[in-house]
Amino acid sequence: MGSDWNSLMRNPHVPPPFIGINGSSPAAPGHRSLHRRVAIVTGGAGGIGAAVTAHLVSLGARVVVGYVGEPDPAEKLVAALNASATAGEPAPRAVAVAADVSDHAQVSRLFDAAQEAFGPDLHVLVAAAGVQDGAYPRVADTSPEQWDRAFAVNARGTFLCCREAARRLARGGGGRVVTFSSSNVGSLRPGYGAYVATKAAVEAMTKVLAKELAGTGITANSVAPGPVATPMFYAGKSEERVAAVAGECPMGRIGEPMDVAPVVGFLCTDAAGWINGQVIRVNGGYI
């Protein structure tokens, strides 16, 4: 635990080795269930989002990696994925596009960029971009600015992406929306008031969206991870606190991004077509 914690704190922007940026995945070796489908992954350059990006590429998807801030992590991930392409694969496998999901114009441009890169047919949205306050303020100590920032990215950002997806994803089969909630919606721990409120909003909106998309062949589901070894999880936590959280899980450890990515990948495939309007908790029995 100590080495993982120290490594992520020293270099939080470098994708950890379990992401599988060589395009392979232990969950589905050689299986191309998303062959030539186009996916947009917001927050796709780090943490769980980077693992999802790599896993979708391993399933044959062409992926637009949405990111904010420093472009280097996104560009390195995309370069590694494209360099690992095999003969006969369409190129590129992935492109990186800067987009602040809380800005509707930037979200629209993200979808435009996906169509410019890979053609008019878009199939998958994975809305993985999110923020969490590493100070973990209680409700009484949360400033309006902290509250607004959480909602701007987690709730408004997911809404704007889902709105664009509802307008642009391919009809008649293969259309998939996967949003990100959190198992904290179930655990309701002190210090997570604003964060949990945003994720509860995402869950409710996703279920409504699934009903509104009736007849389109597009499904909408939400994935709710438990504690996962990412920079966002480690921020503000001591090594002792991390160990305590790991001890609360029946599996005896913190989750890894590649524990979550295959679940997201499955929800994006045709095999998951009968799963719609659901929240899938991926947490090792944490709650």
pLDDT tens by residue, 37-59? 999 999 999 999 999 999 999 99
- Domain boundaries defined on the chain: 2-282
91 has pLDDT over 50: yes
Q: Kindly tell me the sign of the dihedral angle through the C-alpha atoms of 270, 274, 276, 281.
A: negative
Residue 26 pLDDT class (50, 70, 90 cuts): very low
195 noted as active-site residue: yes
Provide the pLDDT for residue 24: 41
How many CB atoms are located within 10 Å of the residue 146 CB?
A: 16
- List 67, 195, 234, 286, catalytic entry: 195
Provide the pLDDT for residue 7: 47
Residue 87 pLDDT class (50, 70, 90 cuts): confident
What's the whole-number mean pLDDT along residues 49-71? 98
* pTM, 2 dp: 0.90
Q: What is the rounded distance in angstroms from the CA atom of residue 49 to the CA atom of residue 157?
A: 15
**Partners of 124 in beta bridges:** 39, 176
Residue 189 pLDDT class (50, 70, 90 cuts): very high
Cβ contact 215:198 at 8 Å: no
Q: What is the rounded distance in angstroms from the CA atom of residue 267 to the CA atom of residue 163?
A: 19
Provide the pLDDT for residue 18: 39
Parallel/antiparallel/unpaired status of strands 176-180 and 38-42: unpaired
What's the whole-number mean pLDDT along residues 115-128? 98
What's the whole-number mean pLDDT along residues 123-134? 98
Query: Does residue 79 come out as left (phi exceeding 0), alpha (psi in the -120 to 50 range) or beta?
Result: alpha
Provide the pLDDT for residue 43: 99
- In the chain, the largest separation of any two C-alpha atoms, in whole Å, equals 58
Rounded percentage of the chain residues whose pLDDT exceeds 90: 86
Better-scored residue on pLDDT, 14 or 122? 122
**Partners of 179 in beta bridges:** 127, 222
Closest by alpha carbon to 230, among 96, 159, 95, 134? 134
Which residue shows structure tokens 């914690």?
5
Q: What is the rounded distance in angstroms from the CA atom of residue 100 to the CA atom of residue 104?
A: 8
172 Cα distance to chain centroid: 24
User: Residue 124 has which token pair?
Assistant: 């998958």
Query: Does residue 110 come out as left (phi exceeding 0), alpha (psi in the -120 to 50 range) or beta?
Result: alpha
Q: What is the pLDDT of residues 153-185, one digit of tens each?
A: 999 999 999 999 999 999 999 999 999 999 999
Better-scored residue on pLDDT, 10 or 117? 117
**Partners of 228 in beta bridges:** 255
How many CB atoms are located within 10 Å of the residue 110 CB?
A: 23
What is the topology classification, in CATH, of domain 2-282? Rossmann fold (3.40.50)
21 has pLDDT over 50: no
Provide the pLDDT for residue 90: 80
Closest by alpha carbon to 41, among 103, 126, 118? 126
Provide the pLDDT for residue 104: 98
